[in-house]
Structure 1
Amino acid sequence: MLAFSAMMSFLFVRGLDEQLVLGSSAQVWVSESDDSASGAQVARAIAAFSDDHGVAVARELPDVKNPDGLRHLYLASGNPNSDAASWLNDGYPAFSRHVTTDVHPIVEIGQRDPRGFYYVFGSPRAADALVAELADLGLRASVQHPLAYSELALLFSGDDLLWSFWVVALAAVTMTGAGVLLSAKTYGVLRLQGKSFMGLLARDLKQLAMFWSLAAGTVAAAVLVFLGLYNGLAWLGLFALVAACLAGMLVLLVLAAHAAALGLTFKVEVLRALKGELPARAAFVSAYLVRVPAVLLALGFAMDVTLASQHVMARQDNQDTYATAGDAVTIRLNGSWGGDSRTVVTHVGRWLRQADAAGEIIVAGRKDLQNVSSNTRLPQGEMLIVNETFLGKQSVLDLKGRRYSPLPRNRGADSVRLVIPESLVRHASDIRATIPDVFGRLEPDVRRRLKVETLQAKGGQRVFGYNSGDRSPNGAYTPDDDRSLVRDPVLVVVPNGSNFLTNDAYTTFATQDGIVFPDPGDVLKPLAANEHGLQTYVAAVNPVGQNAALRLREAVNDFRLLLFNLIAAVAVLLITGVGVCMIHSRKHAQAVFAQHISGWRFIATHRFILAVEGLLAAFLAWWVPIQVWQQNRDLEELTSQGIPAPFPPVQITALDLGAIAGLVTVEFCAVLLALAMFHRRIVKEGAADT
């Protein structure tokens, strides 16, 4: 429990450090501005506010070239003796190695747009005063407390780590209960000596105290050594607080389990307890109250592990494809624009259209084919809205195996090319009818001039979409699916810089990583020069390959966590299986020996336990196929009514069947082996007594 609590605390605090700047008492989000104050004026006002109130205030900005790995903190240190003020000289004490934080004086922030996140280090009341100060500068802001205890608890409750906590709690409770029940004979002897329930519980806790002291010292020493090497003991207090809370909850659970199991031993008369007999009915029910949830957890985790492994393998296979993108980057827009979004659309969309006309960008927007139009029923699939430059970079073949080439700028200016794969040819007219809706709200004259040239593509092609599709409309897909290579997509090829793509469409595709700059200089140079006011709207650029590597790392971490959960759930299955056999054998020891010498077969002697476990194994084997059948039947009912399918037909893979078969084998064979072991012991002890 202590080791697990330390591990969970490490993962939680590391994730927290990668999302937030630790140590703050409040976070102020500036979302709107009337542009009456420049960025430099706001910086000077914050510096003065910091001095007047004796608190540190910092503005967080992502690095332009590496937003996921480097962030900048522009700090005004009102109290030179505060921890935050020391960061200007000593650097930010990062807990995680995955993100680097560079600290600068706030005067170095320059003329950056004031919208964004500010951290207050000091009295939480100063955050409200800062909001009032910013309001005088024409800025609208709100206060948040992401590091408050209530917010941390809420964050943990929505984290995948919570499942790990519950499965380990289940394992700890199971092991505790089994440990107490295995000592039934010892408790019988102590009861014969006059020990009460509270006396035995106090005795057990006293014996455990020494072991817990050694365990706590060992774990604490190991943690200090590890954290000292990993991050120099940064944020040790926060780490210890989270670890103590997790360990405290686990301790309360196992204390309750220990007391409950000890109470069960008191339900047996002293003389029967001396023989190790247990209250079979209550213990049996208790064991299956743990075993059945463990079966469901193990099955769920097994399916998640198989799916996560497929995601990891898919992302690994696509790494070579991303290498072909070279130094290409996408852009990340400023997410703190809470006011008129039309301003962002106008400025960013106009700039992207000019870059498109100059051949500087690749457009790779995505739409779910079924959701393109509400008036036309289309099959499942994906639509890529691309420009002519895209066809120059990616190979798309026609029915004769010839590659579609980008058209010169003076050809096809008033038309788009609709490239439909062989598998969807029968839907060509319906797809063609949806094309005006694909582009959103077109100007009437532009819509009137729109011409569509329908072409066909060779079936079975996979087209590189420059991103995994996790930021695009998912349709029937989950965010974890890697759709970097899109199989048989419908392509809508738009002339570079054409008015068929609205400013809104350009901006939307940019937020979905669908606008790619093959040459990073084409975006970094105008961004550095603040052309078109880009520094106000564009926060950073994302290297396409680096973004894919980050998604791969996240997928691997998710797989490891799920695998840990599966192992813990299987351990609970094994422990409860042995416990059920132990309870059964101790209750029916005399009957088992009598039936054995009378010539009964093993299966006949233990038919009740084997029947119950057989039913549990059958449930385990058929639960997923039945759920898949039910989901596919519901899907057929929806599609028969003309409703677009919310998800593709569910299929059970060979990997899924292998995982189910493995769980069934572990669940049933563990009980069979434990039952055989207890049976042999009963026979051996009975023969020795006679």
Structure 2
Amino acid sequence: MLVFSAVMSFLFVRGLDEELVLGSSAQIWVSASDDSMSGAQVARAIAAFSDDHEVAVARELPDVKNPDGLRHLYLAAGDPNSDAASWLNDGYPAFSRHVATDVHPIVEIGQRDPRGFYYVFGSAEAADALVAELADLGLGASVQHPLASSELALLLAGDDLFWSFWVVALAAVTMTGASVLLSAKAYAVLRLQGKSFMDLLVRDLKQLAVFWSLAAGLVAAAVLVFLGLYNGLAWLGLFALVAACLAGLLVLVALAAHAAALALTFKVEVLRALKGELPARAAFVSTYLVRIPAVLLALGFAMDVTLAGQHVMARQDNQEAYAKAGDAVTIRLNGSWGGDSKPVVTQVGRWLRQADAAEEIIVAGRRDLQNVSSNTRLPQGEMLIVNETFLAEQPVLDLKGQRYSPVPRNGRAAEARSVRLVIPESLARHASDIRATIPDVFGRLDPDLRRSLKVETLQAKSGQRVFSYSSGDRSPNAAFSPDDDRSMVRDPVLVVVPNGSHILTDDAYTTFATQDGIIFPEPGDVLDPLSANKHELQTYVAAVNPVGQNAALGLREAVNDFRLLFFNLIAAVAVLLITGVGVCIIHSRKHAQAVFAQHISGWRFTATHRFILAVEGLLAAFLAWWVPIHVWQQNQNLKELTSQGIPAPFPPIQITALDLSAIAGLVAIEFCAVLLALGVFHRRIVKEGVADT
């Protein structure tokens, strides 16, 4: 429990440090501005506010070239004796090694748009005062407290790590209860000496206190050494708080299990308890109250592990394609514009159109084929809206195996109002329906352009996998999970638009940019205008993302998710094994005499233990059929929705051979463990019975 609490606290605080700047009392999000104040004026006003209120205030900005690995903190120190003020000289005490933080004086921020995130290091009242100060400067802001205890508790409860907590809690209940029940004879002797329930509980806790003191000291020493080497004991107080809360909850769970199991031993008379007999009925019920949730958790984790393993393998297979993309980058837009997106669309969309006309970008926008139009029902699939440069970079073959080439530069003027629709042969029967949806693909087109739009329908060879430069996690598609890696799109419908054509609206360019669908093969084509602040790009473009780095980060996250799920599965299986052995212990101690008598009378093993075998057989059947039946019900619900003309919220669920193998493995572990333990106890009962006679 102590080791797990420390590990879980480490993972949680590390993730928190990668998302937020630790140590703040409040986070302020500035999302609106009347543009009456420049960025430099706002920075000077914040510096003055910091000095007047003696609190530190910092503006967070991602690094332009490495937004996922480096962030910049522009700090107004306020109180020179505060911890935050020391960061200007000593650096930010990062808990995680995955994200670095450079700290600068706020005067170095320059003419940056004031929209974004600010942190206040001081009293909570200072944050409210800063919001009022920003309002006087024409800025709309809201305050939140992500590091407050209540917010941290909610964040932890919604984290995937919390499932690990419940698995370990279940294991703690199982092992604690088993250890107490296995000491039934010792408790019976103490009861014979006149000890009460409270006497025995206090005795146990005194004995445990010695062990816990030693264990806590060893774990604390190991944690301090590890954290000292990992991050120099940064944010040790926050780490200790989270670890203590987790350990405290687990201790309470274990204490409750200990007291409940001890109370069960008092249900048996002293003389019967001296023979090792247990309260069979209550113990059986208690054991299965733990065993059944463990079965469900193990089944759920087994399915998640198989899926996570597939995600890892898919991302590994796609690494070669990203390596071929070289230094290509996408852009990350400033997300602090609130509901006023018109300036972003106008400035960014206009700039991207110019870059497209100059052949500086690759357009690879995504649409869900089924949701392209509400008037036409289309099959499941993906549509890629691409430019001619995309075809120059990525091979797409026609029915004869010939590659589609981009339209020559001197022929584009005549084709400015036409697009090429490339449909895979497998979707040929839907060609007319797909063609009819093309005007809707581009959103709010100019009416004249919409009427004169020409669509040339072509066919592509089926079975092709087209590289899309992104995993598709930022592109909404009901047919896929956000964790799926859709970098290689199988048999996509391609809509090829002339470079820089007004067929793609400013809004479309901007939307594709937010979905990693605008790619700059040469980073200088975006970094140079960004550094020169052409088109006021620094106001709207926060950073650039190397597509290869994005893929590597996605692979790392997928591997971490797989490891966590695999740990949960192992812990859940351990609970299954422990409870299975516990069931056999309770059964053998309760029915030892009957088992021996039936054995010497010639009864078969299965007849002697038919009750346990029947219960475990039902549990195994439940384990084997739960997922297939659940999947069948989900697919039936989908059929009902589609029959009524309602778009399916997710695709039909398929059970793979890997899923069936995982289910079969769990069934084998669940039933065979009980069968093996039952055989061992059966032989022991027979051996002891023969020795007594």
What TM-score does the superposition give when structure 2 sets the normalisation length? 0.99
Q: Could you tell me how far 1:500 is from its partner in structure 2?
A: 0.7
User: Separation in 1 of the partners of 2:339 and 2:194?
Assistant: 76
Task: Determine which of 489, 493, 497 is the counterpart of 1:494.
Answer: 497
Name the SS for the 1:571 alignment partner: helix
1:542 aligns with 2:545: yes
User: Separation in 2 of the partners of 1:164 and 1:488?
Assistant: 39
RMSD (Å) for aligned C-alpha atoms: 0.8
2:208 aligns with 208
8 Å Cα contact 2:316/2:555 also seen in 1: yes
User: Separation in 2 of the partners of 1:228 and 1:31?
Assistant: 39
2:229 aligns with 229
Q: Could you tell me how far 1:641 is from its partner in structure 2?
A: 3.0
The one-character-per-residue Cα deviations of 1:485-526 (angstroms, maximum 9, x if unpaired) are: 000000000000111111111000000000000011111011
Q: Could you tell me how far 1:644 is from its partner in structure 2?
A: 2.7
Q: Could you tell me how far 1:449 is from its partner in structure 2?
A: 1.5
1:145 aligns with 145
1:199 aligns with 2:199: yes
Q: How does 1:85-100 map to 2 (within 5 A)?
A: 85-100=85-100
Q: How does 1:304-319 map to 2 (within 5 A)?
A: 304-319=304-319
2:657 aligns with 654
- Look up the equivalent residue of 1:681 and give its one-letter code: R
The one-character-per-residue Cα deviations of 1:186-213 (angstroms, maximum 9, x if unpaired) are: 0000000000000000000001111101
- Which structure 2 segments of 5+ residues have no match? none
User: Separation in 1 of the partners of 2:329 and 2:651?
Assistant: 32
2:463 aligns with 460
- Look up the equivalent residue of 1:518 and give its one-letter code: P
Name the SS for the 2:298 alignment partner: helix
Q: Could you tell me how far 1:628 is from its partner in structure 2?
A: 1.9
Q: Could you tell me how far 1:339 is from its partner in structure 2?
A: 4.2
Larger displacement relative to structure 2 (638-647 or 453-462): 638-647
- Look up the equivalent residue of 2:52 and give its one-letter code: D
- Look up the equivalent residue of 2:522 and give its one-letter code: D
User: Separation in 1 of the partners of 2:429 and 2:476?
Assistant: 25
- Look up the equivalent residue of 1:533 and give its one-letter code: E
8 Å Cα contact 2:115/2:337 also seen in 1: yes
Q: How does 1:127-526 map to 2 (within 5 A)?
A: 127-409=127-409, 410-411=411-412, 412-526=415-529
The one-character-per-residue Cα deviations of 1:373-420 (angstroms, maximum 9, x if unpaired) are: 000010000000000000000000000000000002433221000000
| Identity within the alignment, % | 88
1:680 aligns with 683
- Look up the equivalent residue of 1:524 and give its one-letter code: L
Q: How does 1:59-98 map to 2 (within 5 A)?
A: 59-98=59-98
Task: Determine which of 617, 627, 646 is the counterpart of 1:624.
Answer: 627
Larger displacement relative to structure 2 (534-543 or 331-340): 331-340
- Look up the equivalent residue of 2:684 and give its one-letter code: R
Name the SS for the 1:454 alignment partner: strand
Name the SS for the 2:583 alignment partner: helix
Q: Could you tell me how far 1:135 is from its partner in structure 2?
A: 1.1
- Look up the equivalent residue of 1:167 and give its one-letter code: V
8 Å Cα contact 2:423/2:492 also seen in 1: yes
User: Separation in 2 of the partners of 1:181 and 1:636?
Assistant: 51
User: Separation in 2 of the partners of 1:425 and 1:672?
Assistant: 56
- Look up the equivalent residue of 1:291 and give its one-letter code: R
User: Separation in 1 of the partners of 2:518 and 2:545?
Assistant: 11
User: Separation in 2 of the partners of 1:625 and 1:602?
Assistant: 32
- Look up the equivalent residue of 2:310 and give its one-letter code: Q
Q: Could you tell me how far 1:635 is from its partner in structure 2?
A: 2.4
Name the SS for the 1:332 alignment partner: strand
- Look up the equivalent residue of 1:171 and give its one-letter code: A
8 Å Cα contact 2:363/2:518 also seen in 1: yes
Name the SS for the 2:199 alignment partner: helix
User: Separation in 2 of the partners of 1:347 and 1:226?
Assistant: 49
User: Separation in 2 of the partners of 1:45 and 1:562?
Assistant: 48
Q: Could you tell me how far 1:634 is from its partner in structure 2?
A: 2.4
Larger displacement relative to structure 2 (629-638 or 161-170): 629-638
User: Separation in 2 of the partners of 1:288 and 1:23?
Assistant: 45
User: Separation in 1 of the partners of 2:444 and 2:110?
Assistant: 38
Larger displacement relative to structure 2 (617-626 or 241-250): 617-626
1:559 aligns with 562
1:638 aligns with 2:641: yes
Task: Determine which of 573, 590, 603 is the counterpart of 1:570.
Answer: 573
User: Separation in 1 of the partners of 2:478 and 2:420?
Assistant: 24
Q: Could you tell me how far 1:182 is from its partner in structure 2?
A: 0.3
User: Separation in 1 of the partners of 2:42 and 2:634?
Assistant: 56
- Look up the equivalent residue of 2:397 and give its one-letter code: L
Q: Could you tell me how far 1:661 is from its partner in structure 2?
A: 1.0
- Which structure 1 segments of 5+ residues have no match? none
User: Separation in 2 of the partners of 1:42 and 1:266?
Assistant: 72
Q: Could you tell me how far 1:131 is from its partner in structure 2?
A: 0.9
Q: How does 1:7-22 map to 2 (within 5 A)?
A: 7-22=7-22
- Look up the equivalent residue of 1:577 and give its one-letter code: G
User: Separation in 1 of the partners of 2:157 and 2:621?
Assistant: 33
8 Å Cα contact 2:388/2:498 also seen in 1: yes
User: Separation in 2 of the partners of 1:666 and 1:26?
Assistant: 50
Name the SS for the 1:276 alignment partner: coil
8 Å Cα contact 2:424/2:492 also seen in 1: yes
- Look up the equivalent residue of 1:280 and give its one-letter code: A
Name the SS for the 2:582 alignment partner: helix
Q: Could you tell me how far 1:647 is from its partner in structure 2?
A: 2.2
User: Separation in 2 of the partners of 1:407 and 1:20?
Assistant: 47
8 Å Cα contact 2:422/2:460 also seen in 1: yes
1:614 aligns with 617
User: Separation in 2 of the partners of 1:500 and 1:249?
Assistant: 59
The one-character-per-residue Cα deviations of 1:422-473 (angstroms, maximum 9, x if unpaired) are: 0000000000000000000111011012000000000000000100000001
- Look up the equivalent residue of 2:492 and give its one-letter code: P
8 Å Cα contact 2:51/2:79 also seen in 1: yes
User: Separation in 2 of the partners of 1:568 and 1:166?
Assistant: 10
1:120 aligns with 120
Name the SS for the 2:29 alignment partner: strand
- Look up the equivalent residue of 2:531 and give its one-letter code: A
User: Separation in 2 of the partners of 1:133 and 1:647?
Assistant: 47
8 Å Cα contact 2:478/2:651 also seen in 1: no
Q: Could you tell me how far 1:343 is from its partner in structure 2?
A: 1.2
8 Å Cα contact 2:301/2:568 also seen in 1: yes
User: Separation in 1 of the partners of 2:37 and 2:639?
Assistant: 58
Q: Could you tell me how far 1:648 is from its partner in structure 2?
A: 2.3
User: Separation in 2 of the partners of 1:473 and 1:120?
Assistant: 35
User: Separation in 2 of the partners of 1:367 and 1:519?
Assistant: 26
